[in-house]
Amino acid sequence: MAETKPYLDPDQPIEARINDLVSRMTRAEKCSQLLSDSPAIDRLGVPAYHWWNECLHGVARAGRATVFPQAIGLAAAFDPDLMERVGEVIAEEARAKYNAAVKAGLRGQYRGLTFWTPNVNIFRDPRWGRGQETYGEDPFLSGELGAAFVRGLQQEVDGYLKAAGCAKHFAVHSGPEAERHVFDAVVSEKDLRETYLPAFKRLAEEGVEAFMGAYNRTNGEPCCGSALLLEEILRGEWGFEGHVVSDCGAIGDFHDHHKVTGSPEESAALAVKRGCDLNCGTVYESLELAIEKGLLEESDVDASLRRLLRTRFRLGQFDPPERDPFAGIGVDRVRAPEHVALAREAAEKSIVLLKNNGVLPFTRGPEPERIFVTGHNATSTDVLLGNYFGVSDRLVTVLEGLVGAAPEHYKIEYRMGNLVDRENVNPIDWGIPGKFDDFGAIIAVMGLVPMLEGEEGEAILSGERGDRTQIGLPAHQIERLRKLKGTGYPLVVILAGGSAVSIPEIHEIADAVLYMWYPGEQGGEALARIIFGDVSPSGKLPVTFPRSVDQLPPFDDYAMAGRTYRYMSEEPLYPFGYGLTYTSLTYSDLNAPTSVASGESLPVTIKLQNHGNRETEEVVQIYITDREGSARTPNASLCAVRRVSVAAGSSVEVDLEVPAAAMRLVLDDGSSVVEPGAFALTIGSCSPGPRGVELGAPEPLFHEFAVT
């Protein structure tokens, strides 16, 4: 009986297996495995593997899957527990699809287990079309949600990973989309460490399997070949031991656009020496030439190869199925009933109620009711999906959800009424109810669509490769809403989008405004359950909604001054963390120490009272302000969050903890210290400032304490 080779023996230590396999490869074979489309090595029994897979809000680009709300919508739930459960479901479906693909002999793109998700770039400017892929503008929230997603995705049993995640795009990357291949994001050490890096660091601490470098340069260095980002910070300071992948085509940008190298072999050598292990693209086809020219050592390739093989071994790709605890997951788990239910729950928790003068929720009374539904997004399935999406055989549009939720004696009439991007051509307009109609309310489903915002090349209605120079809605949509309001019927506006929109006119026109993001396959049912009061809205804004683009610094300026709730000096239209519900809440009975030693956390307890007759969930938020910092400090920074349920007419005690890290001050040179002095906490329903209370948020609580 032939002896089992060590690399094929699951009982051997993983490092011994990796070393044995590397020792058996030729130079050409080694280099080939550093390409994202890694070919098979038949003589060694190494299967082909394509590293590029997506699962931003469900397994993407691989056929049928449960489609969750777009990432920015998931962030609006402010719920790490929900995010972890979403990650778990995605991993389950990913394994089911992978197992089926392997059984069928399919190993191409979007068939694997290495997912280039999550995107934890800071959404610093609402003009960026890809901001919808992120978890918003706050480093703490982005880090906690990203870490929770990774925990769910990367479940580990007996040393095997269910799937592998990737923190992207490292780092300082958030538009303009049209210039992403050429621009240099110049940032101060303070902004780098205070805003752009914390979420990535949190994912490194969580054990994310991979990092993806960004297209652009940061402070002069291309991110996929940056000594500062990859060597000094990622592998040096943070001790990251996983692998690094380039964004697709980014290494070719070294010589084609950034002009830091003069040829593909020079670019390949620079990237590998800096620690970029995997090339999404074709530049690493020049690795052998780079070695022959003395630009690179074969040992450099070996180092990258070992990191890549470690991931593949942890995913069980060289082991018999009976040893892999996830190999038996079948396709019956794809869109399992509990997965679909979680997609609906996620959509319900993500939807944000921005205004309500009492028109919502609708009641299912005995009297017949007539509801007029209009708007380009009422029947759109595209608007459910966002970008980087999977597909489902049951996509519930807003109209379908409303019809399904309404009693049989209700009458729902629908007219599209308007186009998404331009005025109607036909002068005859049946999309405005007339004087002989008798409606109880109008529901107008409008806003943005993925064709207007997203990644370059996908947003086919955008003249700015997916970005938005103006952040309001098209003027014809606003004029349409004015006409609808002129009918005298109560007007409920439901807006879709992946970013902040400037809608002061709509806030004045509408009786109620709901922001649904791109809500996933169950979006229509979730909206209907909120509109009819089956569930109370509880989503919160993970991005600030400015009053206009005039409140924003230049798009291509990466300095944080004037950006996001942490550094903005003007009052926004809707503040970060804001979102109303169907009941009246009060915060009271704050209990917290008045001093804490440096390096210690601070416990906080509050009482949350529901004075209404509806159960609801509330996202309790704590913001910290350094009163005496020796360097510039943010206005306030989110440092603790908890989603809690409170029954009608009852109260709950909520315990939170301000982590010691929240009291650290980032100095101008990028170092951080905990300085003794005065700090303040704001505990409430949104970020500090008068605007939230003006809009109907509960009065917050305040607490002063000292660090000694």
- Regarding whether 598 and 526 lie in a shared domain, the answer is no
> Is 572 among the domain residues?
no
pLDDT of residue 434: 83
- Asked if 44 and 60 count as a contact pair (C-beta separation under 8 A), the reply is no
> Is 578 among the domain residues?
no
- Regarding whether 202 and 90 lie in a shared domain, the answer is yes
Q: Which residues pair with 609 in a beta bridge?
A: 586, 651
Domain that holds residue 596: 585-707
Instruction: Examine the pLDDT at 1 and tell me if it is beyond 80.
Output: no
Reported as a single tens digit per residue, the pLDDT across 599-620 is: 999 999 999 999 999 999 999 9
pLDDT of residue 38: 98
Q: Which two tokens stand for residue 488?
A: 């005298």
pLDDT of residue 2: 63
Q: Confidence band (pLDDT; 50, 70, 90) for 366?
A: confident
pLDDT of residue 645: 98
Of 277, 303, 331, the domain-final residue: 331
- Regarding whether 219 and 195 lie in a shared domain, the answer is yes
Reported as a single tens digit per residue, the pLDDT across 68-121 is: 999 999 999 999 999 999 999 999 999 999 999 999 999 999 999 999 999 999
pLDDT of residue 428: 86
Phi and psi of 461, rounded to 5°?
A: -95, 0
Of 300, 331, 362, the domain-final residue: 331
The mean pLDDT value for 583-606 works out to: 98
> Catalytic residues, which ones?
247
CATH number at residue 599: 2.60.40.10
pTM confidence score: 0.98
Instruction: Examine the pLDDT at 368 and tell me if it is beyond 90.
Output: no
> Is 573 among the domain residues?
no
The mean pLDDT value for 576-586 works out to: 98
The mean pLDDT value for 658-665 works out to: 98
Instruction: Examine the pLDDT at 387 and tell me if it is beyond 80.
Output: yes
Reported as a single tens digit per residue, the pLDDT across 540-552 is: 999 999 999 999 9
Reported as a single tens digit per residue, the pLDDT across 207-240 is: 999 999 999 999 999 999 999 999 999 999 999 9
Instruction: Examine the pLDDT at 690 and tell me if it is beyond 80.
Output: yes
pLDDT of residue 655: 98
Residues 6+ apart with CB under 8 A from 319: 10, 313
Burial class from Cβ neighbours inside 10 Å (0-12, 13-18, 19+) for residue 175 reads buried
Instruction: Examine the pLDDT at 649 and tell me if it is beyond 90.
Output: yes
pLDDT of residue 499: 97
- Regarding whether 167 and 297 lie in a shared domain, the answer is yes
Reported as a single tens digit per residue, the pLDDT across 181-192 is: 999 999 999 999
Phi and psi of 41, rounded to 5°?
A: -115, 90
Identify which of 604, 576, 492 has the alpha carbon closest to the alpha carbon of residue 139.
576
Q: How many CB atoms lie within 10 A of CB 671?
A: 12
Give 366 or 392, the one with higher predicted confidence. 392
Reported as a single tens digit per residue, the pLDDT across 256-280 is: 999 999 999 999 999 999 999 999 9
- Regarding whether 397 and 503 lie in a shared domain, the answer is yes
Q: What is the edge-to-edge ordering of all strands in the sheet holding 585-591?
A: 585-591, 602-610, 651-658
- Asked if 480 and 346 count as a contact pair (C-beta separation under 8 A), the reply is no
Of 274, 299, 331, the domain-final residue: 331
